[in-house]
Structures are given as C-alpha cells and as structure tokens.
Amino acid sequence: MTTFDLAEAKSEWSLDPEVHHLNHGSYGALPRVVYAEQKKWQEEVHKNPVGFYARLSRPAVADARAKIAKFLGQEADQIALVRNTTEAATTTMRGFPFKSGDEVIVLDHEYGAITYAVKRGLLPAGGKVVEVVVPRLAADSDVVKLIEAAITNKTVMLVVDHVTSATARTFPIFELSALCKKHGIAFTVDASHAPGNFDTDLDALDADFWFGNLHKWVSAPQGAGVFRIAPRWQGKVQSLVVSWNEFEPYPLQFDMLGTVDLSAWLAAPRAIEFYEAFGWERVRKAHQQRMRYGRDLVMAELGVGVDELREENLPMGVVPIHNMQGGVEGCAALGRKLATEYKIEVPITIFSDKYFFRISGHLYNTPADYEALVMAVRKELK
C-alpha cells in the first residue's frame, strides 16, 4: 500500500472531499490557518474601516512585505507587492521604453496572458514579438543556443518562464541572464510557479524584472504576488495604479492601490510560516513524491514511455495524451467530463498541437486521487 510523507497534513485543508484536486498549480488552495488569518484582517476592516485604511494598513503592508521579502532572500526595499504575475507583467510592458523596430523574444512555452502583455506594450510602439520554438524535451544547453540564434541588433528584451505552465518544465534562467547581459538586453522572468518551489538567489540572478505568485505553491490567498525590479529600472517602470504613493520610491509606490482588500498580502506571511513548520525541503519532496506517483500511474495506463518524460524537481508533471479525439473541442469536453462526472479537477494543456494531462502533487493529495484519474482515463481514452 502506497503511503505519502506528511499524509496527516491533508486535514489542514477544507477542500471538498468529494473532489479529487489535482490542479494546485493553477489557483492554489488555502490551508485553514491561512484562511483564518485572511478573515482576521478582513474583520479588522469591517470593525473600523477608517482606522484600518487611515492608520493600520500602511504599517501592516510594510510589515508583510518585509516578511515576504525575507522569505525570498531579499531586503524589504527590494520587493514590491502586486496581486499576481499578470499585473506585474502588464506593469513591466507598459512601463518599458519600447520604440519602433524593437524586438522582444518570447518562447512558445510562454503563458498566453504574459505574451498578450508583451504585445500590448510593444506593438503600439511599432515593435515586434519574436517567438522562439523550443522542443518540449530540449536540453538546457539547446534552449540557450536557440534563443541566442534569435537575438539581433534590434532585440531589447527576453521574456522567459522559470517554470512553464503548459509543459511543466524549467528553463535555465541563470544561463539566460548571463546571455542577456552578454548581448545588452533586458531579462524578464515569469516566475509564477517558482516561489515555494525554488530558493532562487535573486541578487545573483539579477534579472531586470522578476515576478512570482504566492497563491500557488506558497498557498497564500489569491491576490498575493511579488515583483522585483532591478535598481536600474526602479522609478522608470512604475505602478499601474496611480494613488497617494505616486511620489514615493520603489517599492512603496506599489503599496497603495486605493481602497481595496489587502488581506491577501497581509495573510501571506502566515502561509510562509505554515510551510516552515514542516520544513520547505520536506514539503517540496512530499509534493514531488505525490506527483510522480500519479504521473507514473497515468503514463503506464496510456502506454507513455520514459523517453517522453523530462524529469524535473517540480510538483507538476505532464503526461502526453496521444489518442485525444476531437481536437481542442474534444480536449475541453474531456476536461468538463472529468470534472463533472468523475469529480476530478485536472488540467489538460495544449502545446505544439499536442495534449497533456498536467498533474499536480500537494500535501492534501492521497493515492486515491491519482487512482481515480487512472480509472477515468481507462474508461474515456481506451
């Protein structure tokens, strides 16, 4: 009988027990204690709205930002708080001084909303998006070569995932940072899935723009994200929201969004503490243990060989679906059927006209979650 490390931690979540939750990577899930912390801050607002926003909110946000920055290995003045990476990417691309003829390199693995943000900032200035095709299983050294081959004297920025969404792989961000410095171009890292999975040395990485989500693998409330702008760009790329901190330096300008719910930011340190009690390295290995168990079961059921696998130290993995019927519509229909009839929440991603189950592993998952997916796959895809 398969047993998972930290199996007892499942009780820390209040997820619907009738559902098999295999998609932590998209929206996360709040532990009970983090939800309680968020409600505590929301209650502070409702007890005395004026007292909260006029006197308490600024020092509370500053304290939360300092704790989050420490978790990321940064000083409090090196990290800005945002609601998510979509907001940070939009901020980056709207603030960057693009001009006619500029080129920005993105990879075909990039999350669609981030590419849209690049286009919104770049295309009105007369620039061009250059998409580099990278095979799903490409070696890191080949990734660097493919990107370098696309750099021209018009290239001003490279945008790359640390961890990809559709294909659940990592890219060699330190090597790519060095490549960008070699060619004198800006380096933007979409680290949506990185916080909680990697202890990235952000100072050594020295990306021009780096942003991550806390609602995913840190299990903070939805609406908590982080944004690091290199000192050379601070004050040039500014908050999208213009408010009373307009003339404050980075990152204080980002603290003030007007009258909004700040509880996601304020509860995020409690999420960090929650995992620290178990030990981050142990948590990561427990996530990977679950994911690999489920991934390997589904691979065996679908007859997928190890030559189609890129092994990563991640809590997400993809399994190719070779016999998907009905194309994109069939993919969507299968996803709906798994959710509604089998009570399985698992994303089916599309990359390079191929389909994949993207399977997550988290502390609340049990062997039965993955075994349910195998049974459903057996009925629906064979």
- For residues 298 and 100, give the distance between their C-alpha atoms in angstroms, rounded to a whole number: 48
Centroid of chain to Cα 303: 30
Beta bridge partners of 209: 188, 229
Phi, psi dihedrals of residue 107, rounded to the nearest 5°:
-100, 155
Number of Cβ within 10 Å of residue 96's Cβ equals: 23
pTM above 0.75, yes or no: yes
| Residues with Cβ within 8 Å of residue 378, at least 6 apart in sequence | 301
| Residues with Cβ within 8 Å of residue 186, at least 6 apart in sequence | 96, 156, 157, 158, 180, 208, 209
- For residues 170 and 311, give the distance between their C-alpha atoms in angstroms, rounded to a whole number: 10
pLDDT reported for residue 294: 98
- For residues 58 and 256, give the distance between their C-alpha atoms in angstroms, rounded to a whole number: 8
Domain boundaries defined on the chain? 7-30+279-380, 37-274
Helices marked H in 151-279: 173-183, 202-205, 252-255, 263-278
Ramachandran region, residue 34 (left: φ > 0; alpha: ψ -120 to 50; beta: rest)? alpha
pLDDT reported for residue 206: 98
Number of Cβ within 10 Å of residue 244's Cβ equals: 11
CATH of domain 7-30+279-380: 3.90.1150.10
Encode pLDDT of 220-243 as tens digits. Answer: 999 999 999 999 999 999 999 999
Answer whether 353's CB lies under 8 Å from 331's CB.
Answer: no
pLDDT reported for residue 370: 99
Question: How far is it between the farthest Cα atoms of the chain?
Answer: 62
Tokens standing for residue 151: 């750099």
Q: Which residues of the chain have pLDDT under 50?
A: none
- For residues 215 and 86, give the distance between their C-alpha atoms in angstroms, rounded to a whole number: 13
CA distances from 133 to 105, 107, 163, 343, 348 (A): 11, 6, 16, 35, 21
- For residues 320 and 271, give the distance between their C-alpha atoms in angstroms, rounded to a whole number: 33
pLDDT reported for residue 218: 99
Q: Helix crossing, 173-183 with 140-150: angle to 10°?
A: 20
Answer whether 9's CB lies under 8 Å from 364's CB.
Answer: yes
Encode pLDDT of 307-339 as tens digits. Answer: 999 999 999 999 999 998 888 999 999 999 999
The b/e string for 17-35 (b: 16+ C-beta within 10 A; e otherwise) is: eeebbbbbbeebbbbeebb
pLDDT reported for residue 1: 76
- For residues 51 and 172, give the distance between their C-alpha atoms in angstroms, rounded to a whole number: 47
Give yes or no for a cis peptide into 49 (omega within 30° of 0).
no
Would strands 186-191 and 155-161 be described as parallel, antiparallel, or unpaired? parallel
Q: In what order do the strands lie in the sheet with 155-161?
A: 80-82, 225-229, 209-213, 186-191, 155-161, 103-107, 128-132
The domain made up of 37-274 has a fold known as: Aspartate Aminotransferase; domain 2 (3.40.640)
Phi, psi dihedrals of residue 209, rounded to the nearest 5°:
-140, 130
Tokens standing for residue 370: 């993955």
> Rounded to a whole number, what is the distance in angstroms from the first to the last CA of the chain?
26
